[in-house]
Amino acid sequence: MRPYASVEVDAKRLAHELRGVVEGEVRFRPGDRALYATGGSNYRQIPIGVVIPRTIDDVVATVAACREHDAPVVSLGGHTSLAGQGANVAVVIDFSKYLNEIVELDAQRKLARVQPGVVLDSLRHTAEREHGLTFGPDPSTHTHCTFGGMIGNNSCGVHSVMTQFYGPGPTTADQVEELEVLTYRGERLRVGRGEATLPPHLRDPLVALRDRVGDEVRRRYPRIPRRISGYNLNELLPENGFNVAAALTGTESTCVTILDATVRLVDSPPVRSLLALGYVDAPTAGDHVPAVLEHKPIGLEGMDEKLAQDMTLVGLHEEDLSMLPEGAGWLLVEFGGETKEEADEKARALMADLKKAGGGLRGMKLYDDPEQEGHLWQVREAGLGATAYIPGKADTYEGWEDSAVPPDRVGEYLRELQKLASKFGYESALYGHYGQGCIHARWNFDLKTAEGIKTFRRFIEESADLVLSFGGSLSGEHGDGQSRAELLPKMFGDDLVEAFREFKSVWDPDWKMNPGKIVDPYAITENLRLGTDYDPPSVQTHFAYPDDHGSFAHAAVRCVGIGNCRRLEAEGEVMCPSYMVTREEKHATRGRARLLFEMLQGNPVEGMWRNEEVFEALDLCLSCKGCTNDCPVSVDMPTLKAEFLAHHYEGRLRPRHAYAFGLIDQGARVASRAPRLVNFLVRTPPFSGALKLAAGMAPQRSFPEFAPVTFTRWFRERGGSLNPNGQKILLWPDTFTNHFHPEIGIAAVEVLEYAGYRVELPEARVCCGRPLYDYGMLDLARRYLERTLDDLRDEIRAGTPIVGVEPSCLAVFKDELPKMLPHDEDAGRLRKQVFHFAEFLDREEYEPPPLARKALLHGHCHHKATGGIGAEQRLLERMGLDVEAPDSGCCGMAGSFGFEAAKYDVSMACGERVLLPKVREASTDTIVVADGFSCRTQIEQGGTNRRALHLAQALKLAYDYGPAGPSDEPPEAAADAALDGGRPGLLTVAVLGGALALGAGGLALSRRART
Ligand SMILES: Cc1cc2nc3c(=O)[nH]c(=O)nc-3n(C[C@H](O)[C@H](O)[C@H](O)COP(=O)(O)OP(=O)(O)OC[C@H]3O[C@@H](n4cnc5c(N)ncnc54)[C@H](O)[C@@H]3O)c2cc1C
Ligand code: SF4
Ligand code: SF4
């Protein structure tokens, strides 16, 4: 019988006791546990409970309490592991939220001491910025993987080649100097190199084990850069200095809990050059790896044509792919140097050698733009995301995704692996760390039927035989976990596997550390997340889920667990603001997706749509659409959240803020009949307090002020368009512009007219229904869309461009509409003819007026998700503005999210991450540009003493005041002056003049809008 740990634990008592001794969080509810059931793997095991320790003492206390209850433990960082090593029926200790301090950075000795929850990039960025140092092995998950996890898995990365040639070696084990570890029995010790670091009861059995199996280790361990499978018993050999820290690296939480790690840093080449080599095919590219390695690059990656094709099919990096040289298989080679010349010179030397050698080389390209180089690295890193869900093809999975061979046999291995896969009818792109022989793949296994699972297993067995016949390793970086552990006897033989068992027993004689992984493992086909029992209920949905075969269940299983949504910085994107400020798995896109998957499983997460834990996780989602764009597999959480809320509240009353904010268009219409009275009430205590309470609004927030005259009324009273002979466009008078910021609508009309267009507004009173989605009022949202289509049908069919100034409203037509009404032809047409304001002007090659000063640009998340803010930035730059677009992600207001009392703190934390400090720092003559109503409100109410302008207002300022702009500081005061009906701007005069010259002003006067 396998010595699995007993899992009969009195979880209630254990939780109670943990709460008494742990300062951090102790979570044992079904949803809390289910959140940690899978990570990035194919497996699913529901933990006993979760502890999020605040201090190292908490960790010690947790393990002690678990010991009292015989409960197994498993530690976690980013939980991005692919082999199932993070999933277990155990108490999970999640280090990532609090234990993430860089304890010490000794630049002189090139050492860093870190807590296990430190994210790799946090250390890299600090070390790089302050000391020109870096940590070599960098997994593709470097923005969110942790040192605990990297040491747990013995991670490697693109720059493992650098530490192979210029540092201590390719793997994390090579960089680990010392570890502080805790055993299950409560012993806490520092381990490093040499027998003296261990007490006799640990040292003696390890020395005996080493002496007994040393020769077998020397004989059977492949001498390749990426032998990640198995325990590092080789590190105990005398020639390796009895390096206990390195031997414990890669043990995947099966031996000890790591409390603290001292790791080595290496010099980071200040300048890097990227060379891309195109070959006739990927195996030929693989054949040339040894020739390239002779030139000692710092990175050597490879990819095949299929990866490029898959990316094109899913619409990823299309532009970037065109930067690759001719070929159907590529090597990306990076060189480092003190100067650009030095790095380029190394690349040129390689190019010269390769030119002479020929042999299938099709093209070479040495890049000289760091931005381009960055894009190409993104192409390579996007591998998993690009290959998971390819339209028209079966879903793909990990399972045989990181095998490694000697680098001089990569080409041969690629050919054979391809042949083997074809025999099984499997296909996958083959890419990865060619320079170290490690090949990534994602195969179209069938993991839902008995036959499919049998075939999957046979393939894994035969692939293992293949890689071993090349003298390779089952895992070349992701570890053994459960995916490969059962195959270890093939690779190492029974004696060494017995030695692994003994090694584990020395550290964990009770067999409670992550049992069933690496040694005496669960079978490869046990605990599958899908498996033959996978049978989620099919549910009636409001959205059509066109990218998920119409299935909510597929949309909920879509997340592949990479964890990019756990990044701590926006990195030029948006995802995922709620995680960035809470560092909570359940507030990351992945956590939410996992809980929806679990909700459909029904055990332990019960109650389907009424489940309160699922509600809690979704409730803090800002529906910013960051994930729809930034998640590599486009998990669409705003849609899933809206769907969930619609069902959650079916037949029940919603909380009062849902009506107050969700139906804002209707409330605003009533309020704008007496805007002054309403403004008085919402601004004056005690009425304002009572109204905030009634609306469920945060007391710290103020109600936005209603404009004395709506935009539509202004337009009607003005007599409609002043440019009757121009090309007709329809301007969308969204609720926010219409009732709160008509000055933006006015500016947009004037700018568009100046640009030569005849601006008209819809005849009917319209609303896209944006806020309804935030509260799951989807029946009503559908009716709004249907009404819009009815109202605009003639214009839609006439092909009239529809331009909007409020990005979130336009996003309804670009994003929600096709998901709601996928088969409606007019909906399809409308989607194609709606434009964000800047998008339209940019597309029409509009020449903006000059304005000389600084601009701080913050893009609305929905704008970024539906086309991006590139057009906006281009226009501002073409005006001559000195534009700064900080990495501000989501402002935190996100529609009405930031107004809700319960969300205020998270909302402000999102704003304070980057945006609000940046606005405060901006000089008083800088124009702050933000097109979104909510972003402007956040800036205005976020203690900045500034108000942001819409792009249309910035353009109007340039027209009104000329290239020097207004002398008022801050410049938004000048925008107010124009609104207050002060002097008519030059733009108005110019437009009026133009219109009069055309003798057409009168024509437009008869046009009437209904509002
Ligand atoms: C898309 C994708 C790309 C990847 N690319 C790479 C790559 O290029 N190179 C690479 O090496 N890996 C890669 N991985 C795998 C994985 O991301 C890395 O191995 C990463 O270093 C794991 O870090 P983590 O914080 O997520 O660890 P986790 O998954 O949380 O943990 C990893 C292991 O370490 C153990 N562990 C965590 N903390 C502790 C602790 N305090 N004490 C003891 N044990 C602990 C865990 O129990 C687990 O067994 C990739 C994964 C994905 C999904
Ligand atoms: S939601 Fe997207 S980014 Fe986050 S883990 Fe899932 S697949 Fe990765
Ligand atoms: S919509 Fe925004 S907040 Fe919600 S999960 Fe996606 S990225 Fe996170």
Q: Is 512 in the pocket of ligand 3 (CB under 6 A)?
A: no
Q: pLDDT value at position 1001?
A: 34
φ/ψ (deg, to 5) at 95: -80, -10
Q: What is the 3-state secondary structure (H, E, C) of 638-664?
A: HHHHHHHHHHHCCCCCCCHHHHHHHCH
Q: Is 50 exceeded by the pLDDT of residue 995? A: no
Residue 214 has pLDDT above 90, yes or no: yes
How many A from CA of 40 to the centre of ligand 2?
A: 9
Please state, rounded to an integer, the average pLDDT across all residues of the chain: 94
Write out the DSSP string of 917-929: HHHHHS-TTSEEE
CB of 157 within 6 A of ligand 1: the answer is: yes
Q: Is 70 exceeded by the pLDDT of residue 729?
A: yes
Residue with tokens 């809690």: 616
- Cβ atoms 590, 561 nearer than 8 A: yes
Q: How far is the CA of 82 from the centre of ligand 2 (A)?
A: 13
Q: Give the pLDDT confidence score for residue 312 in this predicted structure.
A: 86
Q: Answer yes or no: is the C-beta of 625 below 6 A from any ligand 3 atom.
A: yes
Ligand closest to CA 618? 3
**Cis upstream peptide for 604 (omega within 30°):** yes
- The enclosing H or E element of 155 equals none
Residue of the CA atom closest to atom 4 of ligand 3: 621
User: What is the rounded average pLDDT of the residues 481-494?
Assistant: 98
The pLDDT score that the predictor gives to residue 317 is 81
The residues, any chain, with a CB within 8 Å of residue 5's CB and separated by 6 or more, are 70, 72, 90, 510, 511, 512, 515, 516
Measured from the CB, is residue 81 less than 6 Å from ligand 1? yes
Range 296-302 average pLDDT:
97
Output the ligand 2 site: residues, CB below 6 A.
559-565, 589-590, 593, 627, 631-633, 635
Kindly report the pTM of this predicted structure.
0.95
Distance between CA atoms of 740 and 934, rounded to whole angstroms? 11
458 C-alpha to ligand 2 centroid (Å): 29
Among all bound ligands, the one having the nearest atom to the CA of 577 is 3
pLDDT digits (tens, 9 = 90+) for 3-34: 454 568 999 999 999 999 999 999 999 999 99
SS3 assignment, position 975: helix
- pLDDT at 160 exceeding the cut of 60: yes
Q: Is 577 close to ligand 3, i.e. is its CB under 6 Å away?
A: yes
* Predicted confidence band of residue 986 (pLDDT cuts 50, 70, 90): low
Q: Which atom of ligand 3 is nearest to the CA of 890?
A: 2
**Amino acid 2: pLDDT:** 47
Alpha carbon of 778 to ligand 3 centroid (Å): 19
Q: Is the pLDDT of residue 981 over 70?
A: no
Q: Which ligand approaches the C-alpha of residue 559 most closely? A: 2
Tokens of 7: 């899992």
Beta bridge mates, 51: 26, 93
Q: What is the mean pLDDT of residues 510-525?
A: 97
Nearest to 667 by CA among 706, 634, 629, 718: 706
Tell which wins on pLDDT, 523 or 999: 523
DSSP state of 304: E
Cβ contact 37:557 at 8 Å: no
Asked whether residue 638 carries a pLDDT value surpassing 50, the answer given is yes
Ligand nearest to the CA of 141: 1
Gap from CA of 148 to ligand 1 centroid (Å): 8
Which ligand minimizes its atom distance to the CA of 90? Answer: 1
pLDDT given at position 183:
98
pLDDT at 422 over 70: yes
Nearest CA owner, ligand 2 atom 6 = 559
Sort strands 802-804 and 834-836 into parallel, antiparallel or unpaired. parallel
Residue nearest to atom 22 of ligand 1 (CA): 149
Question: Residue 221: is its pLDDT beyond 80?
Answer: yes
**CA 99/CA 95 separation, integer angstroms:** 5
Residue 998: which pLDDT band, with cuts at 50, 70 and 90? very low
Give nearest CA residue, ligand 2 atom 2.
631
Closest by CA to 16, choosing from 59, 55, 54, 68, is 68
Give the DSSP H or E segment for 665: helix 664-671
**Mutate which of 622, 628, 863 to test ligand 3's pocket (most atoms within 8 Å of Cβ)?**
622
User: Looking at the CA of 864, which ligand is closest?
Assistant: 3
Q: Which residue has its alpha carbon closest to ligand 3 atom 2? A: 624
Q: What is the pLDDT of residues 278-290, one digit of tens each?
A: 999 999 999 999 9
Take atom 8 of ligand 3 and give the residue whose Cα is closest: 576
- Give, for ligand 1, the residue of 45, 93, 140, 583 to mutate: max count of ligand atoms closer than 8 Å to Cβ: 140
For residue 131, CA distances in Å to 81, 147, 238, 260, 270 come to 30, 20, 34, 22, 11
Q: What is the number of the ligand 1 atom nearest to the C-alpha of 181? A: 42
Q: How far is the CA of 467 from the centre of ligand 3 (A)?
A: 40
Kindly state the average pLDDT of the residues 613-633.
96
Q: What is the mean pLDDT of residues 44-71?
A: 98
Q: What's the pLDDT score for residue 588?
A: 98
Report the alpha-carbon distance of residue 481 to residue 763 in Å, rounded: 63
Q: What is the dihedral of CA 745, 751, 752, 756, to 10 degrees?
A: 150
Tens of pLDDT along 906-936?
Answer: 999 999 999 999 999 999 999 999 999 999 9
Bridge-based pairing state of the strands 271-279 and 361-366: antiparallel
Higher local confidence (pLDDT), 386 or 804: 804
The Cα–Cα gap between 541 and 776 comes to: 12
Please report the pLDDT score of residue 987 as a whole number. Answer: 55
Question: 674 by DSSP, 3-state: which?
Answer: coil
Q: Atom 13, ligand 1: which residue's CA is nearest? A: 139
- pLDDT mean over 768-786: 97
* Residue nearest atom 5 of ligand 3, based on CA coordinates: 589
pLDDT greater than 60 at residue 1004: no
Answer yes or no: is the C-beta of 383 below 6 A from any ligand 3 atom.
no
Residue type for position 178: E
The whole-number average pLDDT for the span 410-426 is 98
Q: CA nearest 933: which of 747, 744, 709, 774? A: 744
Checking if the pLDDT of 117 tops 50, the result is yes
Going from the Cα of 15 to the center of ligand 2, the distance in angstroms, rounded, reads: 30
The verdict on the CB of residue 583 being under 6 Å from ligand 3 is no
Q: Which atom of ligand 2 is nearest to the CA of 633?
A: 7
Q: Quick one: which atom of ligand 3 is closest to the CA of 589?
A: 5
From the CA of 19, how far away is ligand 1's center (Å)? 28
**255 to 59, 283, 503, 516: CA distances (angstroms):** 15, 39, 8, 12
Q: Which of 143-152, 493-502, 973-982 has the lowest mean pLDDT?
A: 973-982
- Minimum CA distance residue for ligand 2 atom 7: 559
- Ligand 2 atom closest to the Cα of residue 561 is 5
